[in-house]
Structure 1
Amino acid sequence: MSLDFLDDVAALELQAAGEDVDAIVATLPIQNAQSILEVGCGSGAFTRALARVASSPVGDQSRRARVVGMDRSPASVAQAVPLARAEGLDNVEFVAADILDPASLVSLAGQFDIVICRYFLMYMTPGGLGEACLANMRTCARRDGLVACVEVDANFGEDRYPPPSERLDAVLRRIVPLYRERGLVDWRCGITLHHHLTTAGLREVRVRVVDGRCIAGGSPRALVQHGSMHVEELLAPCLAELGLADQTAEVAAEWRAYLAAPEGFVYTPVFLGVGRSV
């Protein structure tokens, strides 16, 4: 099963626009960082937010940290570069490299005060790759540097009000276990961040809620639009398993209407986990 629909640049940018990425960045311990690496940067929306903060004045002093966005997809890197240029950010760069391939990390090893990933570990842990991912993130960090992960706890079917229809509820509740069982995505990675970071041997691990991604009464529009994209692809395996494949269009339409409903409320907590490398 392909997850290409989750890498759609327009969708990634909409998601970032609907969240308060600057507020999330503000919670990161990057005040004294001179170099920052984002792993799995995609379209670079979070990388740009890091770069904006990293080049902002602090008191009467100016700060100018090097920010690097890394993604294994050359296509994503090619799309991220002009978006950063459009914002006039000249302290950010993008490289094509795979965090799971040590050979492609040689030039990045030991170079960064903080190495961070956002909504990335969730793709590593179901396939048993989380430990390797975090170990290589540690490799990119300087000695005693920080490794940080931003992840959600997307608990489909139990994070919304009013309750959806019985049919839609059955489909939503199957998303988390099915994608996890197939080794694709752990939508609830945020709730297990402390475990993953401590298992990876990081010290002084701390996890906190840094944002609440809320859709209330069909707003913010960007999150509604983001949540309405690629619905058919997202729900297709669940519908097939439930014997509802012939109802894909109907269920997708119901999902979109639910997100946009004036009486609806959907909440997804966003967690930040930080640990210190040895």
Structure 2
Amino acid sequence: MTEKRKGARSIKDIPESILTQLNRGETESVNLTEWLAVDQKLLLENFLLQHNRKEYIKPILKAVDRLKKQTVNTVNEAIGVGILNESLKNRDEDFLSVVSAHTSDLVRCWGTYMVGRNEALTISEKLEKIQAFASDSHFGVREICWMAVRPGIAENLEESLTILSCWTNHENEYIRRFASESTRPRGVWCAHIEKLKKNPGLGLVILEPMKSDPSRYVQDSVGNWLNDASKSQPEFVIEICDEWLRESLVKETKYIVKKALRTIQKNK
């Protein structure tokens, strides 16, 4: 089983048999090295042929070839959007369920863009559909899914924050983490959310319920959220951190505050 296999530390050390399985979509990647090693264009061809959608291959690969810069993320997005466009054009409504349930984590990543970039969906519908990806067991799917829907969140910020505030009490730590990670003012590998850079107080509906979250995964995200905010609104972050420490002097809150203040402390 996938969870019992240890991944190689470098791409050249990945066994040929494993690489073949990854490119056929027969197994998940188990670490970042394997994730980066997958030939997504080959995986796409294999996947579409396996599901009798050969006619989708050429237009999607053409879109990938038009990319100015081909990285794992840009190719992943282009393929996901390409599958979305082809499935919409062919009224292939059921294909999302095939993609989202696939064994390959990279195929499931494509599914996140089928949700996040589908302009026929409202932001409420996008978030409802993306939640399954947010709780995915694979790290890659969890990272890509918030990037896929983030433009929609930014365009519909107040409504998104209201919806996501209900996720902060979810029993699944991955879903709680999505609420903060998807709304970080600056984030990683993504466009900034200017409204939150200028007024990070809008995000308190998400941050406050998680100020002493038991999950380190969530704590890191909340701390990083506030650290993002500290780069444009340091006084706000200092005030919130002081308030949290007065209200909740537990190790979880202390950890979040330390992470939140690291840029401010560095610049002193």
Question: What is the TM-score normalised by the length of structure 1?
Answer: 0.28
TM-score, normalising length from structure 2?
0.29
More strand by share: 1
Q: Larger C-alpha radius of gyration, 1 or 2?
A: 2
